[in-house]
């Protein structure tokens, strides 16, 4: 069943390392704690640089959705700078990761999957008015980067910026106007 996930309904929770907040959009199994999820989708607000929390056995994909400069150094390699147009960045959850902000706070979409249990593929996607997207993964998150009307068999919703749909395989989602999305496909 397709679920609408409203950005405004998500509760702010402190990061594992205490350095910021995250808002969980969805987790599998439902209600799973941080040490027992198969996959987890959240939006984080990053107001200052610092180390990332370590999540051994977890693969992460980070996508900046708002802001102009998150620089990440992963395991001491040359830093990668990301903004709201950059492709998603995948890295192991146990990697030593240090972040710095170049031009103020950012917001990011964070996908975490338990290695060996789930895998994720995340991409940016632009669709024209009237286009549809067919969900092929066990769970597909469609995060709206601007307000749009969406419809699918048996439902429809007006999505505000950062609202999302979580749809199972086989669901076809259409959009009334042109839209930019982040598409996160998760399979077991």
Domains (ranges, CATH) in the chain? 9-116 (2.60.120.10), 120-187 (2.60.120.10)
More confident of the two residues 128 and 18:
128
The two structure tokens encoding residue 150: 């969406």
pTM of the model: 0.94
CA–centroid distance for 165 within its chain: 12
Instruction: In whole angstroms, give the CA distance from residue 4 to residue 25.
Output: 10
Residue 161, pLDDT > 70, answer: yes
Residue 18, pLDDT > 70, answer: no
**Contact indicator for 62, 109 with CB cutoff of 8 Å:** yes
Overall size of the chain counted in residues:
188
The two structure tokens encoding residue 79: 């830093």
């Amino acid at each position: 069943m397709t679920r609408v996930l409203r950005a405004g309904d998500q509760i702010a929770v402190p990061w594992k390392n205490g350095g910021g907040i995250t808002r969980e959009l969805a987790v599998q199994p439902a209600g799973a704690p941080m040490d027992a999820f198969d996959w987890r989708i959240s939006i984080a607000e990053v107001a200052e640089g610092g180390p990332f929390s370590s999540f051994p056995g977890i693969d992460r994909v980070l996508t900046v959705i708002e802001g102009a400069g998150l620089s990440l150094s992963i395991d001491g390699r040359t830093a990668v700078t990301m903004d709201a147009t950059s492709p998603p960045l995948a890295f192991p959850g146990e990697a030593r990761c240090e972040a710095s902000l170049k031009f103020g706070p950012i917001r990011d979409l964070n996908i975490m999957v338990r290695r060996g249990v789930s895998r994720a593929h995340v991409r940016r996607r632009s669709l024209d008015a009237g286009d549809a997207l067919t969900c092929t993964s066990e769970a597909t998150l469609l995060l709206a980067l601007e307000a749009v009307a969406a419809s699918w068999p048996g439902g429809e919703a007006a999505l505000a910026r950062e609202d999302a749909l979580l749809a199972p395989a086989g669901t076809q989602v259409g959009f009334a106007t042109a839209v930019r999305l982040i598409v996160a496909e998760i399979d077991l």
